[in-house]
Amino acid sequence: VQLQASGGGLVQTGGSLRLSCAASGATLDYYSIGWFRQAPGKEREAVSCMSGSDGETYHSESVKGRFTISRDNAKNTVYLQMNSLKPEDTAVYYCAADRWLVVSSRLCTNGMDYWGKGTQVTVSS
């Protein structure tokens, strides 16, 4: 599975961006999917994830109410809609997928098998 993330950029505080992750090599219909981010000097963290089995979603506390993960199976693409962006959202964002990893509303880990190259999101104050 190959994943290609896009949509990052520079935005002002309070602005919005939509990240896309296009998949090839397999259909993501039943894959758990996720968006992760890594800021300079910090560990990579899960931002938003979606279960492949039942569509249950996970959002980190820092993005709840602001970010939404979704998928378009017809386009084999995953999205992350980011609203009300803050400077602390500045990071490289990665999309990931895994056929078997469990995702729930309280759990999304870094252990996904397939990763795309990151896309930079910078939020200016």
Mean predicted confidence (pLDDT) in 75-104:
96
Mean predicted confidence (pLDDT) in 55-75:
96
Q: Which of 32, 28, 17, 24 shows the shortest CA–CA distance to 93?
A: 17
In 10 A of CB 84, how many CB atoms?
A: 13
CB 57 within 8 A of CB 64: no
Please state, in angstroms and rounded to a whole number, the distance separating the CA atoms of residues 93 and 114.
Answer: 14
Q: Give per-residue pLDDT as tens, 23-60.
A: 999 999 999 999 999 999 999 999 999 999 999 999 99
Residue 97: predicted pLDDT: 97
Mean predicted confidence (pLDDT) in 84-93:
98
Residue 90: predicted pLDDT: 98
Please state, in angstroms and rounded to a whole number, the distance separating the CA atoms of residues 124 and 48.
Answer: 22
At 115, the amino acid letter reads W
3-state helix, strand, coil in the chain (%, to 5): 0, 50, 45
CB 3 within 8 A of CB 115: yes
Confidence of residue 75 (pLDDT cuts 50, 70, 90): very high
Confidence of residue 115 (pLDDT cuts 50, 70, 90): very high
